[in-house]
Structure 1
């Protein structure tokens, strides 16, 4: 016999004919629907829309019938319930039996029948967008982690993770640009050495010469930003300006001047550090240093 499929590619079920089963709704929908949500099969299709359908099925008979038919399309639960009820099995027992069956049977989709292997995720951008919006309406969801965090972890070097933790715990870091000064510098100042800092030493990095690349990558990922404003603690700059690389840049030209800058975590970077790089105790410390928010033009 040739299998028939519905619009979603699932085996089509016959209409519910058993009056006892129909009269048990919407209680049937609540039990079978809840059981189905915990199976691998229907769980792959679980969205905010499906959760809301289970809620509506508790009070709406038509929605309950439609929901049970859909759930049953994976495992034949409706037909089995109808058969058991017709044989005199109490409705409650039949429902429990169906719940157990749903827990151990995998999804049977069009791909299974035709022997095909397909990706269960939406294929078009519009479908993926609709799925994302459905998830945004899922009031039961407790996962507030940004989906980009997993990808970001794959794009970080170990030293870069140390930089982020240091910024979270120690606060914004001083940075200086060395430019030409003197009378000519007042008219046309040229950049001699940009973004000199002590981030590598303070974070205990393994590859100190890679600090510029590390910071560029962290900026690319939206985790840090470079402010033109100086830190309030000028002692920080006195220590930095005494470092060998800063002194070398100052002495490389006849007239030089120091322009003070600072390096901050973005709000997104702070959230990422607290979610992925430190323990819960550290993440909830009330005394963590504050970072300035980037201006709108930096945020893009």
Structure 2
């Protein structure tokens, strides 16, 4: 039975190589660490070195020390160094503290304290920014009247989306149609067949015509366009649109259909953005640009 135990009273372990060095001759505690380096994963030495109470117990309690080193065994190189220092007679607690310092470890503050400090810093930062914003609003000499969101919006636009915006500014609101079921049944319960068909892609000269629905959804999300349930005054625009292949296909997909005319507009915010960011000053200052309707406060479908 005694053959199964080493001189430290720990289970005798087979020789294990760490970084090419056989550690069979090291004390039992060091060999536990070496074996753990090969077989243990998922524990970080930095977190262990912060656990001051366990480190303190490990300095006087061999069982605790063995368990502690077994847990930090995921860091193979560090454990190899620990094994060598323990073999040289350095106290286990000292070895672990040194290892923690070498990895940048420091006593960990309670989580609640750390979270509280982050929240406090964030609140202070928000208050400071709010105060600075109000100070700028009182500065009568300030000349930068550009909306701060414009820079962010540019980062979230595709090139084709920029072309759509410029086209809407220069050519005005665009027609769109919904194709729904019609006939006697459609008078009672009309179903949507194809929504929002339009000629925006062709008129803006887009590269990816199949992406028009996604482009318009993104522009709507950014507050640059809105979709009116009202048609344009110029009905000729709809005659051209309703002769397009995709509209005709939807119209012939069922026996009875009907066309619901709608329109696509720039929002006032969108107009301001296009004039400031996407066209030259001469175009922006032109008085001949088409007018867009202002969206209602609440557009309920």
- When normalised by structure 2's length, the TM-score is 0.58
Q: Which residue of 2 aligns with 1:231?
A: 232
Q: Which residue of 2 aligns with 1:151?
A: 152
- Call closer, same or farther: CA 1:213–1:172 in 2, change over 3 Å: same
Q: Which residue of 2 aligns with 1:216?
A: 217
Q: Which residue of 1 aligns with 2:168?
A: 167
2:130 aligned with 1:134, yes or no? no
- Call closer, same or farther: CA 1:131–1:158 in 2, change over 3 Å: same
RMSD of Structure 2 on Structure 1 (CA)? 1.5
Q: Which residue of 2 aligns with 1:288?
A: 289
CA distance in 2, matches of 1:134, 1:258: 53
Unaligned runs of 5+ in 2: 1-121
Q: Which residue of 2 aligns with 1:101?
A: none
Q: Which residue of 1 aligns with 2:200?
A: 199
- Call closer, same or farther: CA 1:232–1:291 in 2, change over 3 Å: same
CA distance in 2, matches of 1:268, 1:221: 10
- Call closer, same or farther: CA 1:125–1:199 in 2, change over 3 Å: same
Q: Which residue of 2 aligns with 1:273?
A: 274
Deviation at 1:126, TM superposition (A): 1.9
Cα deviation code 1:114-134 (max 9, x no counterpart): xxxxxxx99522221111111
CA distance in 1, matches of 2:125, 2:169: 39
Cα deviation code 1:87-108 (max 9, x no counterpart): xxxxxxxxxxxxxxxxxxxxxx
2:276 aligned with 1:245, yes or no? no
- When normalised by structure 1's length, the TM-score is 0.58
Q: How does 1:58-73 map to 2 (within 5 A)?
A: none
Unaligned runs of 5+ in 1: 1-120
**What SS does structure 2 have at the residue aligned with 1:174?**
strand
CA distance in 1, matches of 2:192, 2:224: 26
Q: Which residue of 2 aligns with 1:181?
A: 182
CA distance in 2, matches of 1:220, 1:260: 22
Q: Which residue of 2 aligns with 1:30?
A: none
**What SS does structure 2 have at the residue aligned with 1:196?**
strand
CA distance in 2, matches of 1:180, 1:207: 29
Q: Which has the larger radius of gyration?
A: 2
**What SS does structure 2 have at the residue aligned with 1:143?**
coil
Cα deviation code 1:1-53 (max 9, x no counterpart): xxxxxxxxxxxxxxxxxxxxxxxxxxxxxxxxxxxxxxxxxxxxxxxxxxxxx
CA distance in 2, matches of 1:295, 1:242: 30
CA contact (8 A) 1:122 1:128 kept: no
Name which structure has the greater RCO, CA cutoff 8 Å, separation 6+. Answer: 1
CA contact (8 A) 1:177 1:196 kept: yes
CA distance in 1, matches of 2:272, 2:133: 21
Q: Which residue of 1 aligns with 2:8?
A: none
Deviation at 1:238, TM superposition (A): 0.1
Cα deviation code 1:172-211 (max 9, x no counterpart): 0000000000000000000000000000000000000000
Structure 1 stretches of 4+ with a deviation exceeding 6 A read: none
| Count of aligned pairs between the two proteins | 179
Deviation at 1:298, TM superposition (A): 4.1
CA distance in 2, matches of 1:142, 1:206: 38
